[in-house]
Structure 1
């Protein structure tokens, strides 16, 4: 089966994006397909899992404490409100639909962060979480200017961000930085940003580019071989594909310091035109 046919023979969450980005279908065709995400397939299933308390799995970043995932040492199950809203954004659920507006209003009014009970769209203390909160707030039309101001003030000397800064770290993290950059870019696209936020975003981009998106600045070594593998959903994690997608969305002429990452992406394409989930 040709790759395009294979992609179109899928969930509405995939089809509408294929119609927009690869088929270049008329806007009304894309919009009609996207509208199905709320009522069919993955998007509808995710929305249906929201609890009466407005949260998914009873928590903001983590499932409710009554869940046994911690005791069983099984790791984060990624079913709480933050990762679910990220998935809903990724699948392109229409934020203007009545169903989605009601769901987001419940989150705004009832969901609180585990850290200190802060309202969801007010953010908390970790920039990797707050960057995603900004991106979600912009997508779902919520006020997040205060979170953006906090992120600007938390940028480190080397240009990036790190959730461990509150514990004394002075070196940035690739993962934290990409989460913040995505949030700042979304905010800038929606509001125009400010001179300070634009400058912070550009400095953050420089942090990644100076390291060729994957290497230590000090030694030139690959920081983490896992970043050379492509996965979905990324949640808070970093990899080369996520960085390339960010810079694609910025829309600038590709910087030569991305060449290694682009070559890696091309090398992983399969003979049938697909890429593997690694």
Structure 2
């Protein structure tokens, strides 16, 4: 078992947005149980609170990626101040990842098509823009809400780097992929493929992106063999855009299950990093979260046992151990 009975009981005391996933993936309860809990996301707790903040035009905080009142030249835009996390895209990401039924947002896709424009170039919402992370979020959210985002899928094929990954800084001349950008794109491509069936060309692009990270064992610079950055081994929830080994391992678990494949052996070092993060109490503790405006807190302060991180880490380890024959 990935967690003790006491830790599992603690996890089951979570908000419905997390509880249904614990019931399904760690407690292994029958579908009628966790499906009933999942339906509560729209009417109770975190999910209901975010839904209540949606504005009549379909947006949150009056903007696509940034709040409508965001001052791009003010203190909030200063280096280190942190990106606001309240606008439409970030809120949709959160609700989708919490398992909210798209029916709770009936009509939102049309409202955003009519009313929401990207801060970059005033481009229409479901057409995406030039940032590959933003486009990945839009691809997944569009597939979830039933918007036509097929053009964004082609965009990723056209903008893949020669090394197989992606980089949001391509527009500024970067020719090498980024861990952060590549993982965000992979998550978007996988969700789109699961929701729509995808196509062979997008699937090949996804596999090439996976290979970019696997060649680096999810942790290392290919040139020096050093850890790519301190963020790779530091875990905090919400994950937002930032790469870390736990978030990457969670992706590869989802991708392997989707593809019907066993874990790739090159994940082993990332698994060890995640396993080493478990504390004596059987939980994973909150790390340093990304700063920025939020609607409300959904996890504990740094240094405290995190239900979200414990769930993601325990689920990944249970999958790995089951497939690889133990620790």
Structure 1: runs of 5+ lacking an equivalent = none
Equivalent residue number for residue 266 of structure 1: 275
Residue 106, structure 1, aligned to residue 115, structure 2: no
Equivalent residue number for residue 29 of structure 1: 33
Equivalent residue number for residue 96 of structure 2: 89
Determine helix, strand or coil for the equivalent of 1:2. Answer: helix
Is the 2:108–2:145 contact (alpha carbons within 8 Å) kept by the matching residues of 1?
no
Give matches, 1:116-195, under 5 Å.
116-195=121-200
In structure 2, relative to structure 1, the CA distance for the partners of 1:268 and 1:104 (3 Å cut) is same
Equivalent residue number for residue 11 of structure 2: 7
In structure 2, relative to structure 1, the CA distance for the partners of 1:127 and 1:255 (3 Å cut) is same
Q: 1:69 and 1:121 mapped to 2: Cα distance?
A: 23
Is the 1:69–1:76 contact (alpha carbons within 8 Å) kept by the matching residues of 2?
no
Give matches, 1:191-270, under 5 Å.
191-251=196-256, 252-270=261-279
CA RMSD of aligned residues (A): 1.7
Q: C-alpha offsets along residues 65-121 of structure 1, whole Å, 9 cap, x if unaligned?
A: x3458522333121111111111112211113xx32244443333211111222222
Structure 2: runs of 5+ lacking an equivalent = 288-327
Q: C-alpha offsets along residues 101-158 of structure 1, whole Å, 9 cap, x if unaligned?
A: 2444433332111112222222111111111111112222222111000111100101
Q: 2:149 and 2:24 mapped to 1: Cα distance?
A: 28
TM-score (norm 1): 0.93
Shift of 1:263: 0.6
Larger RCO, structure (CA 8 Å, separation 6 or more): 2
Shift of 1:269: 1.2
Q: C-alpha offsets along residues 162-191 of structure 1, whole Å, 9 cap, x if unaligned?
A: 111122111111111111111111222223
Equivalent residue number for residue 86 of structure 2: 79
The number of equivalent residue pairs is 275
Q: 2:179 and 2:16 mapped to 1: Cα distance?
A: 32
Is the 1:160–1:203 contact (alpha carbons within 8 Å) kept by the matching residues of 2?
yes
Q: 2:125 and 2:62 mapped to 1: Cα distance?
A: 13
Shift of 1:271: 2.2
Determine helix, strand or coil for the equivalent of 1:193. Answer: coil
Shift of 1:198: 1.1
Q: 1:113 and 1:69 mapped to 2: Cα distance?
A: 14
| Structure 1 stretch displaced more, 102-111 or 38-47 | 102-111
Is the 1:174–1:208 contact (alpha carbons within 8 Å) kept by the matching residues of 2?
yes
Determine helix, strand or coil for the equivalent of 2:75. Answer: coil
Q: C-alpha offsets along residues 22-77 of structure 1, whole Å, 9 cap, x if unaligned?
A: 2222222222111111111100111111122321111111111x345852233312
